[in-house]
Amino acid sequence: MNNIQEEQQGLIAMADLFTAIWMGEWNTYEDFFQSIPVEFHGELPFHGHYNREEADLWLQNHFSIPGEHFISPYYSSYRAPGQDEEVKRNSLLRLIGMYERTGYYFPLEKEIYPDHIAALTGFAASILKEEAKAAEQEDKEYLDQLGKLKRDVVEIYLAPLVSSIKVAAQGKVNNPFVDQFVLSVSEFVEKDLLAEHN
């Protein structure tokens, strides 16, 4: 495996891990950390604060249960200044169209809304996996199509949502696992996914 393939596999693993955390799939989370060398655990600062019950409780409090601690995990909850409801609705329909064209049914399978952060990180992982296959098959045309799709998903949906969540979490999140997790997702999107296109 060359460096580019290793990097691609690392991006896929991170996107899958973040999706599992957003979904509260703690067995998947624990299996991931058991499968990698201990010396890499420190690369993910939230893991040092992991306690299954606490992490689950605070992720639920912040991202599932409306109340004083709630931070919306939905793209449609945040609106750019001057953006009207019609633009947001069309943007959501476009996202759903992207899912349908690529056969991405994760939101339906998991019974979550299509603009939930887990649906978006899962979609990014799905695209990364398809890119790896296309690269292996040396299908440049498909690889280019996937690159454009990934750029659109990250720039239009994922990056703005993660940025909004990061801002909303400031001063609201006191649990160190959740705090470091939100920062890690933000860094992943900004430094790994967005950097690929700049």
149 touches 102 (CB < 8 A): yes
pLDDT tens-digit series, residues 87-125: 888 999 999 999 999 999 999 999 999 999 999 999 999
CATH match for 3-197 among 1.20.1740, 3.40.630, 1.10.3470, 1.10.3480: 1.10.3480
pLDDT tens-digit series, residues 25-72: 999 999 999 999 999 899 999 999 999 999 999 999 999 999 999 999
Residue 166 reports pLDDT greater than 90: yes
Give the residue with greater pLDDT, 18 vs 83: 18
| Extents of the domains making up the chain | 3-197
The reported pLDDT for the residue numbered 83 is 73
The reported pLDDT for the residue numbered 108 is 93
Residue 198 reports pLDDT greater than 60: no
Q: What is the DSSP letter of 72?
A: -
Q: What is the pTM of this model?
A: 0.93
**194 band by pLDDT with thresholds 50, 70 and 90:** confident
Q: How far apart are CA 190 and CA 164, in angstroms?
A: 13
Element of type H or E holding 28: helix 26-35
